[in-house]
Structures are given as C-alpha cells and as structure tokens.
Structure 1
Amino acid sequence: MRESFLKLLEGEPTRKVVWTADLNYWLDGQKHAGHGPSDRFTEEGYLNLCRELGCMPYYWYDKFWLAEPEYDGVEVVATREGLRQRRTWKTPIGQLWEENEFMPDSVSTGCTKYAVETHADLEVLLYILKHRRLKPAAISDYRERVALWARYDGLPILGMPRSPLPAFIHEWCGMDHAVYLLFDYPELVREILELMEDQERPVIDAVCRLAPPLIHFCDNLSSQNLTGFFDEFMAAPYQRRLATFHAAGIRCAVHLDGTVKGLLPRLANVGFDAIEALTPHPAGDATVEEMRALAGNRNVILWGGVPGVMFAPPYTWKDMAAHVKKLIAAWSGTPFVVGVADQVPPNGDISMVRKISDLLRNHE
C-alpha cells in the first residue's frame, strides 16, 4: 500500500486501495485496562499491529510534532494532582495557567480551564510568544524511521505546529473565549496570530530541507465553529505555507475531523493535496456521496470515510461492511484513501480493521 500511497500523492494511478487506521486511541484503552503485551505499545509494536490487521501504518505520536517550544524569560511549571494536570507559564508581567483532567471512562483528557480568558491574559500571552521560539523536531532520525516503516509498508506521520488561529483556540483559549477575544480585541489578537506565523519560519525551512513526501497540518478542524473565520484568518496563512512546501516538492494533508460542509470546499480551494479524517454519516454532517461534490475538486485526495463510532456498539460488522462498500462506490474514479475518521475507540472491535482489510483486498 505504501507504493500506491506515494503514487496517489503524486497524482498517479494506483494499483491498490490504500487503507489507514489510527489505532493509538484503542491502544491507549488497552494500556489503561492493563491488556496486551508491553511491546505492543512501542513504535515497532505498533508497526507489527498494523501489519497483523492489514492497514498501512501512518499514525504514531511519540515522534510526530515538527516543532518544540523553547522559552527565554518564561518559566513553565507542570504539576499533577490526582487525575488533574496543571501547567503554568510564569513571566515578569503575570502568569497564565491551564488545567486538564483525565477521564478514565473515556480514556481521554479534557481541558477544564484554558490559559487565556481576558485582555490581561492576552497581554501575557503576547509576552510569552515574544520570548518563545519554535525549534525544529522529529527531523534528525526521520530518514532512519522512514526506512523502518517502509519494511512494514508504511510512512510515519509528521505534524506541523498548528496554524495560528487553530493554535490560538486549541492551545490557549478554547472556542468560547477565542470568539469574544477576537471581537473585543481584534488588533491584539491579530498581532498574536502574526507572531505565531512568523515563528514557524525555522520549522518550515528545516522541513523543506528534509523534503518528506508528506506533512500533516494537524489543526483538528470543524466547520461548525471555524467556517466563519476561515476567509479572514486562515486562508492566507494556509496558502503561504502550501506555496512554500509545494515549491519544495512536499505534499500536504490537513486534519478535518469535525463537520465538513463549510470547510471541505475551502480547504480544497486553498490547495491542500489531501483532506484527512473526513467523517461522514452516521457520525458527521454529510454523506460519503456528498463529500466529493462538496470538495468541488476531483484532484484533491479524500481521506477517511469510516467513522470511528462504527467500530463500537450499536453498530455491527454488517453495518460496517455495507458502509465501506458504499464509500468505495461513491469515491471510486477519484483519488481517495479509506481511513478511520478519526480513530478506533477504546471500546471498538479491533477485528473490524482486519475485516475491512480483507474486504478491500477482495474489492481489488
């Protein structure tokens, strides 16, 4: 599948249907429950699991982000109390703090307190960012990892730091606070967003020197909350990034794992090569048949189409098989990757991954 995947990125005809599944959330559930051998939770253990299940290895997050923050004049302190984790940024003009809580039932973590909520917090954030630089990461051993993953018919994911507005929302404010701050203090927020984009430059330069076949914009997008901000705050930064990477021969995918109707056509229009984690009915806001029409571009790779919820009750293999067959029929004749949108959940039936692999092989 790796060969077909690379050809797909180059716009060439492919011999096989490419099938990817992010198994990390399911593995987190196994680890939390104390199931499975310890070597399953290593990078090579993950590659072996993908091989056993017949999907192309792509997702692995221990070596993933292409940037690490470094601070000068800012102290970052992390503490833990029970299931709660707090991170504090201490500066000469004030401090920010956020809190996240682990939820055992869902094996997930949620933010209970965002760092930036007020105008004063914005000023502190601006100070923090002025004293931050993004150091390129996940690059030094990338070639060796590519060789390792090729032996398992896969390619390791590389994630760009979140684009400015998604980073502002996801990492600092949350959606509610971000909306109010954007409208109440537009000039200050714009200064922060511009600074975030400027700080990407060393990372972008390092990635262009590396020239991987594909990088991922892991912005965790959803049309429900970002469509109205896209044209003003997101389109131009995306176009600047894409122009630089495309000039270096690098293809780019973006993670749209929420609702799709507003953003899918916009992301295709700004020039992304692939739009990943596309989640259709019964979990999303569009059918698989609607998604290609929404893209408005028969050359962009649609990647996803298999909702993670369908691996868990009340859905059965009969439901899943019918859905995958419908997906293949809807997307055939255009570039696509069959993928879980966006992860197999902890209570998911992992045997369905193998069954989908067999179904797709028989389809070929």
Structure 2
Amino acid sequence: MREALAQAWPGPSAPRPIVVIGAGGIVADAHLPAYRLAGLPVAGLFDIDGERAAATAARFGLSVFPSLEAALAVDSAVFDLALPPAAHLGVIERLPAGSPVLIQKPLGRDLAEASAILAAARRRGLLAAVNFQLRFAPMMLALADWVAQGRLGEIVEAEMHVNVLTPWHLWPFLQGLERMEIALHSIHYLDLMRRLLGDPAGVHAKTIGHPASTLAQTRTSAILDYGERLRCVLSVNHHHDFGRKFQDSSLRLEGTRGCAVARLGVNLDYPRGEPDELWLCETGGEWESVPLRGTWFPHAFIGPMSNLQRFAAGEDETLVTAVADAWKTMALVEACFTSSSAPATPIAPLPEAR
C-alpha cells in the first residue's frame, strides 16, 4: 500500500526547450540535475555573471546565451527564472507575451512586489507558476496522497521543526536583505501547510537574527490559526552549531486516525544532505517507513516544471503553483512579518504588597 503512494509528477509528452535565466548555486545543485534526470531539454542559460554562467554551462554541457535578449528569443521556450527576488519583475516584463514561465520563490521581496509581478504576468498573458518545489518532493507527494485518502482522519496537529546549521555564505545576495528567513526559507513550510491544510485565518509570528550572523533574520517561530481543533506551529533555528546529534528537520502531522513524520534530509549537512524519510502510523498499528524514490533536492524540482509544461500543453487541468496561488503564500509571509513587528501583549506586573 505504502509503495503505491504517489511520489512523482508525470512528465510532458512533448517537452519544450527550457531557457534558464540565472546560473547560481540552486541551478547547479537542483534545477539542472532535475531536468537531466527527467529528460527535459535545456536550450541554454544566461546570467549577468558571464564567468558563473560559463562554469555552470560547462558542468552540464550546455550553451550560454550572449545576452538576455538572445535567451528570450528562443522559439517555443519555457523560461525558468532562477533569480534573486528583486530581479523577477524586470525580466517578467520582458518575456514574450503568452510564454510559460517558472519563477523562483519568493514571488518578489514583499507582497507589494508580488502584486506587481502578478499584474505583469496577467497583463502579458503569461502561463506563470512559482517554484514551490517542496510540494513536489517524493515524500510530500506521498504524504499528500495519504492525507487525501483520509488515512490520517481529521488533522489536529501540524508541526514543522527545524534545528540545523545552515551555510548562509553560499548565497551572498542574502546580505543586506531586510526580510530574510521567512521570505527565503520558511516560506517553503508556509506554502506546504497551505497545500496540506488550506489557508489559515491568521498567524502569530516572531522572526529574529542571531549574534553569529549579519543576516536580518535566521530564526523563526510561527503559529498558524486554523481554529480550535488544529494546532499548527513552525519552529526554525539555523544556528545549532553543536554537532549532528540533536539537529532536526522534520514535519509531523497527527490526525484522529493516524500520524505521519517526514524528515527533510537536505537541510542536514546542506548541500550534501542526508536521505529523506517518510514514516506513517495508523492508530493501533506500527510505524512503517515508505520506500522513497527520490529526494527533495533535486527530484522535487522535476514536478513544477513538468506540471507547467503539461498545463501549457493541455495535459494537466491545474497549474498547481500558479502565480495567483503563490500570491496567497506571499500574503501569509507578509502577515508573518507584520505580526513579528507588532508589539507583544504585555504581561501584568506583580501587584504591590499592601
């Protein structure tokens, strides 16, 4: 039964050439390995850093476009924007009208920019999706399948717990960003909660930095409001520099009929990572491990591109991470930052002795 759970998104029957805009670490570590695994053709890539583009292209046997204009001129292409959030809007406004495009998360730096990107995509008639690839990780597809079958019953507990040591130096563009941890990392977990549980009514959150880091925020606590029956919480710390023993990166879902625990191995010793795991247990039964056929990095990156290409070809009815749905995740991110900056409820002082 557990071996039959869905773990992969079907590929397009007639894959279109992919033009990758951006050649940073995520492209080399995940995008290009995923497309190679899936047999999705890559026409080439472009980056404003010519040396970086050449190095990445050489590693995968690809060509480098001499300019953004040349990259955007590829006929019948699907564009993969693997850019920092500040760069999305300018490129989107230059894409050929009606093009399919996969946009790296987040959808801009804040909700206002996400709204501008959404408006530009609509104005230009783009088939635009956002690369919320955690939804497509083999373990998460299997978990969503198990949830859809009702095997958990009513979900009453959802907890994302991350206690790791993240090598932030791998992403130099993060320096100076006013909004960091939630917008660039925990956004994955917020989006996943929306996928599994629906949209919350609100959120209580606090995101802060760390004395060992110059980044704006690297630690987050958040409570998502799903009413009086479902408790949903995120606890994220990227500074556990005390060895592997108590590091953790896991999602726990508990319901009235069962429980599921997913282990996100890539966060442990990133970017090398450890194997993902998915454990399922029904009330009164034993814990069973689901044999996974792939990992978050790079296998999950196959899903958003395959879904986009299939949707463009009429093979999928739904664009799972459509820009309008991604905007809702950005709205949740915005609410987290707003909550974090709001004053806390003061605690009553001890009454004076009489």
- TM-score normalised per structure 2: 0.32
Identify the structure with bigger relative contact order (alpha carbons < 8 Å, sequence gap 6+): 2
User: Structure 1 or 2: larger helix share?
Assistant: 1
